[in-house]
Amino acid sequence: MEQAIQSYKRYTFNRNFDVIVIGSGISGLALAAILSKSGKRVLVLERHYTAGGYTHVFKRRGYEWDVGIHYIGEVHRQDSALSQWFNYISDNALKWAPMGEVYDKIIFGDDVYPFHTGRENFISHLQAQFPAKKDQKAIEAYVQLIYDAQRSTQLYFAEKALPKAVSWLAGGQMRKKMLRYSRKSTLEVLQSISDNPKLIAVLVGQYGDYGLPPSQSSFAIHAMVAKHYMNGASFPIGGSSTIAKSVAAVIAKGGGVVLTNAEVAQVVVKNHKASGVQMTDGRYIEAPIVVSSTGVYNTYNKLLSPELREKHQLAKKLDSVEPSVAHVCLYIGLQHSVQDLGLEKPNLWIYPDGAYDHDANVAAYLANPNTDFPVVYISFPSVKDPDWNNRYPNRATIDIITLAPYKWFAKWQGSKWKKREKAYDAFKEQLSQRLLEVLYRYVPQVKGKVDHYELSTPLTTQHFCNYEQGEIYGLNHNPNRFEQKHLRPRTPIKNLYLTGQDIVSCGIGGALAAGVITASAMLKRDVSGMIRKAVK
């Protein structure tokens, strides 16, 4: 078996492929692995110099940072679909370290609200902090709503894999129940069960995981995220780079390969069918089926000709959706062990002191970037990974994330990574120092011990992940997004498919589910059910 991940520039094309997948994020890799196990020879093309999309890592000055994975729910439970999918696409190579009793801490000033693992634990600990009878009932009602809403998504997403004729007959009924939840905002649903703004603010304290404040987000996405972590969270042992490596090995076993530094210029369509791809160096690679895991904007605007966009009215489809939020992330390295620093596993979600209106906080910040950050998320990846000390002894890392709209950085559009203007670097430094101040308030023991830090911006995300406005979650998860029937694996062009978070939902779990759904559409079978039987 040849090397699973190779450079396109050095690869010798001496075989034919059944499927080309554009993009090596978890959706593209998962799809390729499933197809490989079904007898397909799959070529995965990645424009970046490393594979994995948001599961990849980068290294600098003796440190390693995970760019997209901070914690994943459900994978530590052997009976969960997510666990079974990861086991299947990696041949059981991936291992996970649970984060323990508390996975998130929601913080307003000095008030801390831990989210505890397990439905009953989650409820009882929050009820202890909100002892009023009406609040206790609201917490119980909230958790029940989360479970009911999440359960309703199963048929909604399964419908996306159905052939057009079957979808026309059964799709309405399959989508109906979930749409009752998705058409309401998170704030609207929470206000229907509670009139306590402090409780509501705490319950939606993970809104950064999908990027929209409560009045703008669909309750469906909030329910999916909250339920995803309700039974605890885990981190990949060995770091998130183990995901791409293990899945690529499965692809290679099936005769496929993942190529990096491989940028696709256009999907080639002949006789009204996708027939392969044209690379930026002019090479034509032929395959009877092409799948894009690059997002609907990139697929329709960049990978298809203007004639095809006009013929299939693709611009109209794109007008029905909008890009999600952009962000900045401060990557920190410390020349001390996590034990010496006393770092803990739970993520910190930090909000302005006493400001329990998330929507007002976000609005104020967008109007004036010098106001308080509406949310600061702090993650401690080197604590979560039990293998960290074996790879990086006496070192630790921290990630700090906050919202940052693309328009703040648009003036430097077109400049080169690491070679932008001094004004850009000065703005980055200003944001970095402000984020460090938040860190030192809540993790004071690291002050004076930071060895290295650097800030990524929406331009960084644009450069490495190829999202036009540096968005982190693909499409916005507002109520309108879930109304769009065109966000599904099949496109108007025969043999051209979509996968990725845009056809399901954001995050690693949503993107992985998209790979399963696209595989179901292509193989014309219930792939999730097939995997469930295979891993038992």
Residues 74 and 30 in one domain: yes
Residues 299 and 345 in one domain: no
Interatomic CA distance for residues 195 and 121, integer angstroms: 23
Interatomic CA distance for residues 423 and 426, integer angstroms: 5
Using alpha carbons, select from 424, 503, 510 the residue that is nearest to residue 463.
424
Name residues of the chain where pLDDT drops below 50: none
Residue holding tokens 């027939």? 275
Average pLDDT, the chain: 95
Residues 206 and 123 in one domain: yes
End of a domain among 231, 249, 279? 231
- Kind of pairing between the strands at 273-279 and 264-270: antiparallel
Q: Is 529 a domain residue?
A: yes
Phi then psi for residue 281, to 5 deg, are -90, 5
Domain total in the chain: 3
Q: Is 73 a domain residue?
A: yes
DSSP annotation string for 327-390 = EEEEEEEESS-HHHHT--SSEEEEE-TT---HHHHHHHHHH-TTS--S-EEEE-HHHH-TTHHH
Residues 63 and 121 in one domain: no
The 10 Å CB-count burial string (b at 16+, else e) for 384-418 is: bbeebeeebeebbbbbbbbbbbbebbeebeeeeee
CA dihedral in degrees (342, 239, 323, 228; nearest 10)?
-80
Structure tokens at 255: 């005769």
Phi then psi for residue 455, to 5 deg, are -110, 130
Structural domain including 454 reads 330-465
Q: Is 189 a domain residue?
A: yes
The confidence score (pLDDT) of residue 282 equals 97
End-to-end, the C-alpha distance of the chain in Å comes to 27
Residues 456 and 505 in one domain: no
- Kind of pairing between the strands at 19-22 and 42-45: parallel
Residues 210 and 288 in one domain: no
Contact 397, 385 (CB under 8 A): no
Q: Is 103 a domain residue?
A: no
Residues 178 and 253 in one domain: no
Query: C-alpha distances in angstroms, 217 versus 183, 184, 210?
Result: 10, 8, 8
End of a domain among 411, 430, 465? 465
Q: Is 107 a domain residue?
A: no
Residues 335 and 461 in one domain: yes
Residues 490 and 440 in one domain: no
Burial class (CB in 10 A: 0-12, 13-18, 19+), 497: buried
Query: C-alpha distances in angstroms, 318 versus 164, 211, 321?
Result: 20, 20, 6
Q: Is 15 a domain residue?
A: yes
Q: Is 473 a domain residue?
A: no
Indicate the length of the chain as a whole number: 536
Residues with Cβ within 8 Å of residue 294, at least 6 apart in sequence: 22, 23, 302, 303, 466, 500
Contact 357, 507 (CB under 8 A): no
Residues 272 and 217 in one domain: no
Structure tokens at 309: 């966009």
Q: Is 219 a domain residue?
A: yes
H or E stretch covering 527: helix 527-535
Interatomic CA distance for residues 352 and 372, integer angstroms: 6
Residues 216 and 245 in one domain: no
Residues 410 and 376 in one domain: yes
Ordered alpha helix ranges (H), 130-260? 133-159, 164-182, 186-191, 197-203, 219-230, 241-253
Q: What is the CATH number of the domain that holds 80?
A: 3.50.50.60
The confidence score (pLDDT) of residue 1 equals 60
Interatomic CA distance for residues 390 and 384, integer angstroms: 13
The 10 Å CB-count burial string (b at 16+, else e) for 228-261 is: bbbbbbbbbebbbbbbbbbbbbbbbebbbbbbbb
Q: How many CB atoms lie within 10 A of CB 436?
A: 17
End of a domain among 231, 256, 291? 231
Contact 308, 295 (CB under 8 A): no
Query: C-alpha distances in angstroms, 185 versus 197, 213, 214, 475?
Result: 15, 10, 7, 16
